[in-house]
């Protein structure tokens, strides 16, 4: 009887020891970090992975993820700097980089509490920044600078909370349904006005090019005509000099040459000429060698 009692007590003690040993051990994953609490108060932070010890029934362990976490802000309506109503969706990537601050400032100290604080911070920051710029800036290369400004402001606001804002992006930018038709109509009118201005400027430029081309063409033709008349005059003057010098040397040959030219013009084609045989025009027909020596 004493032996059975002794064995029962020993088994009970071993069971208590086993339970105490199991309650004093906890494991930290490589992707996690742990906060050890004693009666709800922060005692220490465990950042290294492996098997760790704690005081059973007195200390509790809360785990926080080391990885980058996601938070998608629901669509929010915003009025831009040029009084345009738009709807914006954003997403935020963050990590818990200081578990002590996170535990002390976020209530509840978990991802739900973090999402609640991020919603307030990101929403107010996006409204503040986009509320000072025109809608057109979100549709140009300035969009990247705007997002960087939002990111930096959110990062400064989340640092005291033990969180690091890794990245913030605008997923979607849309007009409210009730304003979409009116805004599209204004955009179409503006684009039509710009198109008409560009067409008018193009027509004006084309007319200038045509006018300049016509002027240059007229100048080139006038100069060419002038040069042609000059060349022709020089040629005629030279021809007269040659004729004059020829007349002085042999007037009879010149008369013979002029008669041949006259024959060529008079008997061109099917011409018929009736003249007296005594006509001076036929003197070279009657006697071809007359006057030619």
Is the pLDDT at 285 greater than 90? The verdict is no
In a domain, 118, yes or no: yes
In a domain, 238, yes or no: no
In a domain, 228, yes or no: no
Question: Are 85 and 60 within one domain?
Answer: no
In a domain, 236, yes or no: no
Count of domains in the chain? 3
Question: Are 119 and 170 within one domain?
Answer: yes
pLDDT in tens, 182-241: 667 777 888 888 999 999 999 999 999 998 998 889 899 988 988 888 888 888 888 777
In a domain, 112, yes or no: yes
Residue 57 domain boundaries: 19-65
Question: Are 35 and 110 within one domain?
Answer: no
| pLDDT given at position 262 | 73
In a domain, 279, yes or no: yes
- Whether the CB-CB separation of 37 and 43 falls below 8 Å is answered with yes
- 146, 174, 202 — which closes off a domain? 174
In a domain, 215, yes or no: no
Is the pLDDT at 102 greater than 70? The verdict is yes
Which range is least confidently modeled, 76-80, 94-98, 255-259?
255-259
Q: What is the CA radius of gyration of the chain?
A: 54
Residue 89, classed as helix, strand or coil, is strand
Percent of the chain with pLDDT over 70: 75
In angstroms, the CA 158 to CA 115 distance is 12
| pLDDT given at position 125 | 92
Question: Are 151 and 102 within one domain?
Answer: yes
In angstroms, the CA 162 to CA 110 distance is 12
pLDDT in tens, 154-198: 999 999 999 999 999 888 877 766 666 766 777 788 888 899 999
Residue 132, classed as helix, strand or coil, is coil
Nearest CA-CA partner of 35 in 53, 54, 61: 61
| pLDDT given at position 170 | 85
Nearest CA-CA partner of 78 in 152, 141, 138, 118: 138
34: Cβ contacts below 8 Å, ≥ 6 apart: 26, 28, 45, 46, 52, 61, 62, 63, 64
């Amino acid at each position: 009887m004493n032996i059975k009692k002794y064995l029962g007590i020993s088994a009970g003690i071993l069971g208590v020891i086993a339970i105490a040993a199991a309650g004093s051990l906890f494991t930290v994953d490589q992707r996690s970090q742990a906060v050890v609490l004693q009666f709800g108060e922060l005692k220490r932070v465990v950042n290294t992975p492996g098997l760790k010890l704690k005081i059973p029934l007195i200390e509790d362990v809360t785990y926080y993820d080391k990885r980058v976490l996601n938070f998608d802000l629901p669509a929010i309506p915003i009025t831009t700097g040029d009084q345009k109503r738009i709807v914006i969706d954003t997403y935020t990537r963050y990590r818990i980089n200081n578990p002590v601050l996170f535990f002390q400032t976020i209530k509840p100290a978990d991802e739900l509490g973090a999402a609640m604080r991020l919603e307030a911070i990101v929403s107010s920051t996006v409204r503040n920044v986009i509320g000072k710029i025109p809608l057109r800036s979100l549709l140009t290369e300035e969009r990247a600078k705007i997002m960087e400004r939002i990111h930096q402001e959110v990062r400064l606001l989340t640092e005291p909370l033990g969180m690091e804002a890794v990245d913030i992006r605008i997923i979607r930018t849309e007009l409210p349904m009730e304003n979409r038709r009116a805004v599209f109509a204004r955009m179409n009118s503006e684009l039509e006005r710009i198109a008409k201005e560009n067409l008018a400027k193009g027509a004006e430029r084309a007319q200038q090019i045509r006018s300049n081309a016509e002027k240059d063409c007229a100048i080139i033709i006038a100069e060419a005509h002038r040069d042609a008349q000059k060349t022709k005059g020089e040629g005629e003057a030279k021809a007269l000099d040659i004729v004059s010098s020829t007349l002085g040397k042999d007037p009879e040959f010149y008369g013979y040459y002029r008669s041949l030219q006259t024959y060529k013009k008079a008997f061109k084609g099917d011409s018929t000429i009736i003249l007296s045989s005594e006509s001076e025009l036929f003197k070279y027909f009657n006697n071809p060698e007359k006057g030619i020596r």
